[in-house]
Structure 1
Amino acid sequence: MAKTYTAFTKLMSQTQAEALGEALEDMDPEPTGVGVFEIEDGSGTWEVGGYFLAQPNDIELALLAAAYEAQPFVVSEVPDTDWVDKVRRELTPVVAGRFFVYGSHDADKVPADSVPLLIEAAMAFGTGHHGTTQGCLEALDRLAAQGFTGQNVADIGCGTAVLAMGAAAIWPNPVMASDIDEVAVEVAEANVAANGLAEKVTCVEAAGFGNPALTDRAPYDLVFANILKQPLIDLAPDMAANLQPGGYAILSGILTRQADEVVEVYAQNGINQLRRDVIGDWVTLTLQKTV
C-alpha cells in the first residue's frame, strides 16, 4: 500500500510561520500541500504543515525549523486511504430541527416530514456533523419556528453551502453564499445543484462581504457566518454595514471560551446577543442588529 507523509511544526510568530510555509514549498521532494494557520486557543501559536507523497528530508526540515525559530518538525507516516469511502461509511445523517443532512448512500433514510439537505461524501467539509454547522441549522430552524421569514439572506464563509441551502429550502427568495476559497465555491455550487437549488442560491468567491455581488444585495435581514473567532471579529464592522436594522446574524466557529469576546465586539457594532447555544466545545450565537 502506498504511503504518504505529513510534517508539522509550531512557532509563535505569524510572519515567521508564513515565511516557513513558503520555504516548505521549495523542498525536494516538493510537498503537495502546505498549510499555515493560527491555533485557536488564545496562545498566539501558529502551526505549519506539509503533505508529502514521498518521505521528506529530515535534515532539510531540521534546518528550516532552526532558520525560522520553530519547534522540530514532527513527521508522520499516513497510510493510503480511500477518504471518500471512509467518509461515506463513518458519516451518518444529522437531524437539526426540521433539517436532515445526509449523503446519497442514506437517501432511503430521509424522513417524509423533514427538509432534506444532500451533501455528498466527496464534499464533506461542512456536512452538519460539526457542532458549529448543526448549531447554525438549529438556530435557523428556531427563527423560522418563531415566524421569521428571511427575505434577503447571505451565508458568509459558506463551505458546502449547507446553511444557504437550508434557508433557500424553507423560504421563497434567493440566497447569497460566499467563500474565500475557490474550491469551496465550486463545492458549494455542486451541492446547490445536487439539491435542485441552483436557481435560488448564488455562490461567489469573496473575503467577507468583499464582492459587489454581495454588497449590491445588501442590506440583509439574516446573515450566517460560520468561520472562526478572529475572522468573525474582523467581520463585525462590515456585518453592521450590510445587516438591516432588526436583522439577525447567526455566528459560529467559536469555542466556548471565545464567545464573550465575539459578543462584546458585535455589541460595539450595534449587533446584540439574543441567544447562545453550546454543542460540545462550540458556541452558536444568534444576534440582532439594534433598530
Structure 2
Amino acid sequence: MSWKVTVFAARPVIEAALVAHEDAWDWDHEIVLSGREVAEDQPEDWVLEAWLDRKPSKADNVAITALFADTKPKLIAEELPETDWLVASQEGLEPIRAGRFHVHTPDHPAVDEPGVFDFAIPASQAFGTGHHATTAGCLAMLTHMKAQGLVVRNCADIGTGTGLLAFAALSLWPRTLAIASDIDAVCVNVVEDNAGANGVSMGARRGELVMTVADGMAHPVLEARGPYDLILANILAGPLVHLAPDFGKALVPGGHLLLAGLLETQEAAVRAACRKAGLRLAARMVNGDWSILWMRKRGR
C-alpha cells in the first residue's frame, strides 16, 4: 500500500518548503519529497508531492505542514495503486547529450561516435539516469574540467545513485582509482548491474570501481582510500553544507570538488560553507534552476 500527499502553491512557496525539508535533520526518510511545476505553460504554479508506504498519520501531516512556515497548506492525501512510481516516471525518457556523454535507457540505441561516451542507464530505484538537470550538469562540467587539463588519479563519487557520475569519471580518466558510495544499500546492486551493462570493471585497482554504503564521508574504506584529487557529490544543499568540512579534509592540496543538487537560490550558503573549508570557486554553471559548482582546495 502506498500513499501520496499533495500540496499546490506558488513556486516560491514550494521552493521554500523544499529548502526547509533539506534543513530538517530529523525528517523521516521514509517520506520521499519532490517539487515541480504543474505544467510547462504554468511555470509559477507548483506542486509538492510526498510519497509514503503507509497511510499518512497525524504526525506525518504535521511534519509536512511544518515545511510551510507561517502558512497552513491544504494537504490532499490519496491512496495509490501498486506501482513503482520511480521506474514509471522514467519510462520513455529520451536520450540526452551532456558534454562528451550520451545517456539513454536500454530501450534506446547506443551511439558510436568518436570522443563520445555512451551509457545505458535503466530506470531503477536509484537516482541518476542523467536526465535530471543536476546530473546532466555534472556530466557537462566533468567534460569542461577534462578540457581544462585536469588530471585525476584518485576520485570518489558520494551519493552515487546509479553510478553514472563515477562511470563518467572513469571514462575521462581511465587510470584513476575510483570509489562510489551511497547512503542507500539498494544502490549497491544497482551500481553493480549498471557497471556490468556498461563495461565498467568493479574492483580496487586503477580503472576499476569500488562500491560501498556510507553516510557522507564517514566510512573506513572512504578514509583509507583518500586523500582524493576529485570528489563528486550530487546530493542536496543541506548535506553539502554539512559535509563541506569533510570534503575539504579528504582532498589533496589543490584537489577538486564537483557539487550539484542545489538550487541556484541555495548556492550562496553552499559556497560559504566551502570557503570555510578552504575551498574556492573554480567555475560554475546553471542548468535550469540548479547550480553546478567546481570548487578547488587551496594548495600547500
TM-score under structure 2 length normalisation: 0.76
Q: Does 1:34 align with 2:66?
A: no
Aligned partners of 1:17 and 1:47 also within 8 Å: no
Q: Does 1:132 align with 2:134?
A: yes
Q: Give the 3-state SS of the residue equivalent to 2:91 in structure 1.
A: helix
Structure 1 partner of 2:181? 178
CA gap of 1:61–1:8, structure 2 versus 1, over 3 A, is farther
Q: Give the 3-state SS of the residue equivalent to 1:150 in structure 2.
A: coil
- After superposition, give the CA deviation of every residue in 1:223-268 in whole Å (9 maximum; x if it has no partner): 0011111100110111111001111100010100110111111011
Greater shift, 62-71 or 203-212, is seen at 62-71
Structure 2 partner of 1:26? none
- After superposition, give the CA deviation of every residue in 1:147-175 in whole Å (9 maximum; x if it has no partner): 21210011011111111100112211231
- After superposition, give the CA deviation of every residue in 1:38-82 in whole Å (9 maximum; x if it has no partner): 99xxxxxx9965235xxx4xxx84697579986675212435557
Identify which of 286, 289, 297 aligns with 1:289: 297
**What amino acid maps onto 1:289 in structure 2?**
K
- After superposition, give the CA deviation of every residue in 1:106-139 in whole Å (9 maximum; x if it has no partner): 1244545411122112356211111111111111
Unaligned runs of at least 5 residues, structure 2: 8-16, 36-47, 67-71
Structure 1 partner of 2:238? 230
Aligned partners of 1:7 and 1:51 also within 8 Å: no
- Tell me how far 1:94 sits from its aligned partner: 1.3
Aligned partners of 2:126 and 2:187 also within 8 Å: no
Structure 2 partner of 1:24? none
**Which residues in structure 2 correspond to 1:74-223 (within 5 Å)?**
74-79=76-81, 84=87, 87-89=90-92, 91-122=93-124, 125-171=127-173, 172-197=175-200, 198-199=202-203, 200-223=208-231
CA gap of 1:193–1:120, structure 2 versus 1, over 3 A, is same
Greater shift, 180-189 or 69-78, is seen at 69-78
**Between structures 1 and 2, the one with greater helix share:** 1
CA gap of 1:88–1:113, structure 2 versus 1, over 3 A, is farther
Determine the C-alpha separation between the residues in 2 that align with 1:125 and 1:222.
21
Determine the C-alpha separation between the residues in 2 that align with 1:271 and 1:63.
40
Q: Give the 3-state SS of the residue equivalent to 2:292 in structure 1.
A: strand
Q: Give the 3-state SS of the residue equivalent to 2:130 in structure 1.
A: coil
State percent identity of aligned pairs. 36
Structure 2 partner of 1:260? 268
Count of residues paired in the alignment: 263
Q: Give the 3-state SS of the residue equivalent to 2:146 in structure 1.
A: helix
Q: Give the 3-state SS of the residue equivalent to 2:109 in structure 1.
A: helix
CA gap of 1:175–1:35, structure 2 versus 1, over 3 A, is same
Q: Does 1:51 align with 2:53?
A: yes
After superposition, the CA RMSD in angstroms is 3.4
Aligned partners of 2:182 and 2:215 also within 8 Å: yes
TM-score under structure 1 length normalisation: 0.78
Greater shift, 108-117 or 266-275, is seen at 108-117
Q: Give the 3-state SS of the residue equivalent to 2:225 in structure 1.
A: coil
Q: List structure 1 segments (4+ residues) > 6 angstroms apart after TM superposition.
A: 12-17, 36-39, 66-72
CA gap of 1:7–1:240, structure 2 versus 1, over 3 A, is same
Greater shift, 231-240 or 187-196, is seen at 187-196
Determine the C-alpha separation between the residues in 1 that align with 2:3 and 2:219.
37
Determine the C-alpha separation between the residues in 2 that align with 1:209 and 1:124.
19
- Tell me how far 1:185 sits from its aligned partner: 2.6
Q: Give the 3-state SS of the residue equivalent to 2:102 in structure 1.
A: strand
